[in-house]
A = this chain, B = another copy of it.
Amino acid sequence: MSEKIIIIGGTAAGLSAASKAKRVNPDLEIQVFEKTGYISYGACGLPYFVGDMIREPEELVSLTVEQMTNKRGVPAFTHHEAVKIDRSRKMVTVVNLDNGQEQEHPYDKLVIATGARPIRPQIPGIGAEGVYYLRTVEDGIRLKAVVKAEGKKKAIIAGGGFIGLEVAEEMALSGLEVHIYEKLPRLLPFLDEGFSEAVLETLKERGVQVHLGMGIEEILETDGKVSGVRSSDGAEEKADLVLMSIGVTPSSELAQEAGLELGLKGAIVVNDEMQTSDPCIYACGDCVQMKNRITGGPAYVPLGTTANKQGRIAGDNIAGGHETFKGVLGSMVTKVFDLYIGATGLSVLQAEEAGFEPAVSVVTKGDRASYYPGSRDNRICLIFDRKTGRLLGAQGIGSESIAGRINVFATAITCGMTVAEINELDLVYAPPVAPVYDPILIAASQAMKKVKP
């Protein structure tokens, strides 16, 4: 008899696991249960769906239930929530949310890919109508409806992380008055301080008002509807809607109730093969604790790229493989209006916490030949070990080309390169595309001056 595989969660990690396992061993009987109404959606595209750069929710979906079921041979069920794992009997209880029916499904191997969910702070008014989150397609549809509704509206965004900034851009472009409240004293505090300021300036230039060092302590309501917020300084600001984007927390309750080991921020602990403390149960994606690729220590960096990789590895392994996940650098990129922001590896603080003696170097350099029209500055910050010059982290802001440069640094970190070695890289050059001394090389050569063996 063929092995039965149950996968809980049908987005990046879950579907990667399902697809990979089925490809490796077509005999496996795999079923995917997804709580929301959509599988395989690009959650990172939701801000742009809200802003209508992407018109229909279906555009965010790369595989429908029908394609998954018929083409890939993996039946997938939406509106099906797994509510209990019975490890001794190897059974998962799943509720059909459309009709409330419960059913037990036996498994030989189970994959938990329940992801993460937005943090919902316990403040007065949090339950008012007009408080939004942005994680699922349904969240996006709800938020887009109010953003695109007639009439001038005022939005308050709690939290100036990536989701908050991306939605701020899209709301501002949609004509809303936008206020961001960020509890910390600066935006994206893992970045170089000057970079945080540049992000702030970009937002201000486009009319987004940013309140730094300011949390939201109460959501004001009138007749159960949002009417404003009260911030930590006691001031009140009127608003028609509030987006809560103060971070996410791993959705690990099911694992916890089943007695699986949890780690950082309550994320599920897995080994490099993505196996939980129960050898028959794998977990992957935003619900698991991961390994930092540089320090080897635990990390929680929920990103779509990692979820896909981990899903593929879990899928390979439930089909009998022994693939291992190598860890995260936390490479990321985003844009705020026309300012692109990227980072990889450790921040200064993280490097210090990991026991390094980091030195920092920041350079500014055009992204193409200075004489070629349209050159825009790239600002690059390198974080490296002061004694050895080994690169630990890199951050950049500027034009779209920053993404490729951060990827070079991610590759260099992966290979353990020093800034001196990076300075010797043979990189491409053409006046319309990149300067003869690429910002990567300039950053490395400036950093070399601070290395003191």
Chain A residues proximal to chain B, CB less than 8 Å:
12, 42, 44-45, 48, 53-54, 59-60, 62, 293, 303-306, 308-309, 326-335, 340, 342, 344, 369-373, 400-401, 403-408, 410-412, 414-415, 417, 421, 424-434, 436-438, 440
Number of copies: 2
Tell me which of B48, B333, B433 contacts A335 (CB under 8 A): B433
Which residues in B have their C-beta under 8 angstroms from that of A406?
428
Which residues in B have their C-beta under 8 angstroms from that of A411?
408, 411-412, 415, 417, 425
Ordered by A's residue number, 20 sampled pairs between the chains whose C-beta atoms are within 8 Å are A48-B432, A305-B427, A305-B429, A305-B436, A306-B426, A330-B426, A331-B426, A331-B427, A332-B429, A340-B433, A344-B426, A403-B430, A403-B434, A404-B404, A406-B428, A410-B425, A410-B427, A411-B411, A414-B426, A415-B415
Which chain B residue has the least Cβ–Cβ distance from A293? B426
Question: Are B53 and A372 in contact, with the CB atoms below 8 A?
Answer: yes
Question: Are A326 and B424 in contact, with the CB atoms below 8 A?
Answer: yes
Give the shortest distance, in Å, between A430 (CB) and chain B (any CB): 5
Given A403-B433, A407-B408, A436-B304, CB of A332 within 8 Å of CB of B428: yes
Question: Are A42 and B403 in contact, with the CB atoms below 8 A?
Answer: no
Which chain B residue has the least Cβ–Cβ distance from A340? B433
Question: Are B430 and A44 in contact, with the CB atoms below 8 A?
Answer: yes
Which chain B residue has the least Cβ–Cβ distance from A306? B426
Give the shortest distance, in Å, between A305 (CB) and chain B (any CB): 5
Give the shortest distance, in Å, between A190 (CB) and chain B (any CB): 15
Which chain B residue has the least Cβ–Cβ distance from A303? B429
Which residues in B have their C-beta under 8 angstroms from that of A332?
428-430
Q: CA–CA, A309 to B408, complex, Å?
A: 19
Which residues in B have their C-beta under 8 angstroms from that of A293?
426
Q: CA–CA, A370 to B328, complex, Å?
A: 24
Which residues in B have their C-beta under 8 angstroms from that of A369?
42, 44-45
Tell me which of B45, B404, B426 contacts A305 (CB under 8 A): B426
Which residues in B have their C-beta under 8 angstroms from that of A308?
436-437
Q: CA–CA, A437 to B48, complex, Å?
A: 19
- 7 closest A-B pairs by beta carbon, nearest first, are A404-B404, A415-B415, A333-B428, A329-B426, A59-B371, A411-B411, A45-B431
Give the shortest distance, in Å, between A417 (CB) and chain B (any CB): 7
Which residues in B have their C-beta under 8 angstroms from that of A400?
400-401, 433
Which residues in B have their C-beta under 8 angstroms from that of A436?
12, 42, 44, 304-305, 308
Q: CA–CA, A12 to B305, complex, Å?
A: 41
